[in-house]
Amino acid sequence: MEEVFVQRKVNNLAPISIGDEEKILSLPTDKVLRVKVYKVKNPRSVRQMNMFWATCQTVADNTEDKYWNTKDKVAFQCKVALNFVNLNETIVDPQGNVHFSYRSISFDELPHIEACDFFNRAWEIMAAKIGIEVETLLENTQP
């Protein structure tokens, strides 16, 4: 299943990013496609989320660290570093071990202002991991 972000224009749907456009163009032509539509509260959030995942991929591509070598691992490491914990789901087992549950960064789970704060802090962590400035990381990443 492909996830593509689009924005409704007057009489059509337009992709939000180049990556979204490429996904749409890779779909078969003249076929009926089943599509689910979810309303996103703020279009800027979509671009921000795309940039986050693209920077995660950039970091993964530029490190040999086995704990940071995929975009999902990079995102998880950012959550750990930022202590992005869901305290309501964190448990202590009978042996006294703490099992953390990390918060989701999905559109439904994270309000826009909190997302801005999370992403800004995460970009600092990612840039430091590969030894560059945040501005350089963002400039060299294509969402």
Q: What is the pLDDT of residues 96-106, one digit of tens each?
A: 999 999 999 98
Tokens of 19: 């990556």
Distance of alpha carbon 120 from alpha carbon 107, whole angstroms: 16
Query: Across residues 37-43, what is the average pLDDT?
Result: 69
Place of tokens 């992403």: 119
41: region left, alpha or beta (phi > 0 left; psi from -120 to 50 alpha) = alpha
Q: Which helix (H) or strand (E) holds 52?
A: helix 43-61
Six token digits for residue 143:
């969402």
Q: Is the pLDDT at 7 greater than 90, yes or no?
A: no
Of the two residues 129 and 36, the one the predictor is more confident about is 129
Per residue in 75-104, pLDDT (tens digit) is: 999 999 999 999 999 999 999 999 999 999
* Angle in degrees, CA 37, 47, 128, rounded to 5: 135
Mean pLDDT of 109-132: 94
DSSP structural state of residue 44: H
Tell me what the mean pLDDT of segment 38-63 comes to: 85
The H or E element containing residue 98 is strand 98-99
**What does the pLDDT read at residue 5?**
81
